[in-house]
Amino acid sequence: MAIIRLMNEADATGRVKEIFDEIKATLEVPFVPQLFRALANRPEQLEAVWTQVKGLFGSGTLDVKSKALAALAVAAAQRCPYFVTIHSIALKRLGATDEEIAELLEVASLATALDTLVTGLGLEPEL
C-alpha cells in the first residue's frame, strides 16, 4: 500500500498528463505505473526520473533486454517485489525465456551471497 497519494490518471493535467501519455505509449501499457503516479506529486521529479528512464533504456551500447536483465538482478538482490515483477514482465515481453530469467536470478543470488561473504570476511581483491 502506497504511503503517499497516487495521482489518478484522470486528474492529471498539463505537463504531468503529457508525461503520463508518453509513459503509456513508450512502455506500451494501458495505465501509468504506480511509481510514476507517486512521483506526480512533484512534477519536476516525475519529469526528471522519466527522462532518465527513457534515456537509459532508449539508447546506449547495451540492448534493452540486457538492461532489463541487469535491472531484474538488482531488484532481486535488493529484495524489491515491485521491480522484480515489473522487470520480469518486461523481460517476458522482450522474449526472455523462463530459463534465462531463472539463470539470471541464480547468478544474482550467488553474487549477493558471495558479496555478503567477502564483505563480512573483510577480503580485498587480488589485482
pLDDT tens track for 39-96:
999 999 999 999 999 998 888 899 999 999 999 999 999 999 999 999 999 999 999 9
pTM over 0.75, yes/no? yes
Residue-number span of the structural domain to which 118 is assigned: 60-122
Asked if 30 contacts 21 with a C-beta cutoff of 8 angstroms, the reply is no
Instruction: Say yes or no: 40 and 65 in one domain.
Output: no
| Number of domains forming the structure of the chain | 2
Whether residues 68 and 51 fall in one domain: no
Average pLDDT over residues 103-114: 95
Residue 49 sits in the same domain as residue 86: no
Could you give the CA distance from residue 106 to residue 47 in angstroms, rounded to a whole number?
35
Question: Is there a domain that residue 1 lies in?
Answer: no
